[in-house]
Amino acid sequence: MDKGTIIIVLIIIVLVVLPLVLPEYLKKTKAANQKKRLIAKSKSEGMQLSELDVWDNCCQIGIDKESKRLIYSNKNENNGSYAITDLSGIGKCVIVRVNSDQKSPYGGSSPSYRLYLVLTYADSSKNEKVLEFYNNVSFSPNETELSNIQKWSDIISSNLNR
């Protein structure tokens, strides 16, 4: 084969492989950056995260088991600001699954699926804290989202004062 053929074959390989590899690389890079920001914010608040997660390029959660504090952020809900919750006042943590129909802009209705962790204070005069884990108009949560919310429900529940 001559050099021209080799160059054309290499270009074709790059054009086929790049669209498959690049999105996954960018997703992992973005998740790593979000984790770094979460760790930096938690350190600035005097927290040492024992566990943390980042998902859907918008949600972040971490827990400091020593101080019993939770840090959470959802770019879709609160523009990426961080909410810190002291778990010492929380009485229980439950998973809430909401499936509903929403009016579509085209006149019909479309299903909407949401998963929340609801933190209820032991003092009933305080409002519940709601953490959104999944919100999609088109697709119901898959096993990954369900196991992620169950994992965090278990982590939080095991760190509540009982």
Profile the chain (162 residues) by mean pLDDT over runs of 10 residues: 87 89 86 88 93 84 94 78 90 87 66 84 90 74 82 93 66
In the chain, which residue ranges form alpha helices assigned H by DSSP? 3-44, 75-78, 143-158
Q: How far apart are CA 87 and CA 93, in angstroms?
A: 10
Residue indicated by tokens 């949560």 = 141
Alpha carbon 1 to chain centroid, angstroms: 50
What pLDDT, on the 0 to 100 scale, is given for residue 58? 75
What pLDDT, on the 0 to 100 scale, is given for residue 62? 94
User: What strand order describes the sheet that includes 129-136?
Assistant: 90-103, 109-121, 129-136
Q: For the chain, which residues make up each domain, given as ranges?
A: 3-158
